[in-house]
Amino acid sequence: MSYFDTWNKKIEDSSDQTKYTQYVQRYYELERQAYDRILSAYPDNSQLISATASEMASVLGFPPDEMDVFLGFLDGISSSVEDPIQLEEVSDETAIDLKIDYEKLYWNMRDAKADWLYNLASWDTVLPKERRAEITKDFRRANIAHVEKIGRNDPCPCGSGKKFKNCCMGKN
């Protein structure tokens, strides 16, 4: 079984809630630590983001017996890198080069509501506070819920051809 298969199996199995919660909390702890290391070393972080899987996991703080958790980290960052990672094929000796789009990473962290990640102080070395504020503003603008309210005299959306006030609105 690959590390990625093990990750998926463990993250989807919540039959033992205590064990599941411990696993997820351990993932969040290692994830935060890994991102903090990558961001803190920016722009000289190439040794952290380009190596074999086992070497990268080690320098990012993932123990050798938790490579499945490292694959969870790679799964999370995969939508923010230029070259896709074939997660199912990753083994200890797989060469990984994370060409991270940092603005996209910040956006994706906001989208995941991962405040423990997008609020890391180490972001200051990567994106200026003003740029992060712009991305946050754009993110919020893009995620505003829009509701098209049907007027009383508009055609009913049920397709009857009647005015809304004489059709479905009158049924309530």
Contact 94, 4 (CB under 8 A): no
Measured CA to CA, the distance from residue 47 to residue 40 in angstroms comes to 13
Does the structure show a pLDDT above 60 at 172? no
- Among 53, 100, 49, smallest CA distance to 78 is for 100
Element containing residue 95 per DSSP (H, E): strand 95-97
**17-41 and 67-77 helices, crossing angle to 10°:** 60
pLDDT in tens, 130-151: 999 999 999 999 988 777 788 8
Predicted structure pTM score: 0.83
- Among 95, 57, 93, smallest CA distance to 85 is for 95
Measured CA to CA, the distance from residue 149 to residue 60 in angstroms comes to 50
Q: pLDDT at position 131, please?
A: 97
Measured CA to CA, the distance from residue 57 to residue 27 in angstroms comes to 13
Non-local (6+) Cβ contacts of 15 within 8 A are none
Measured CA to CA, the distance from residue 32 to residue 34 in angstroms comes to 6
**Residue 104 burial (10 A CB sphere; 0-12, 13-18, 19+):** middle
Does the structure show a pLDDT above 90 at 165? no
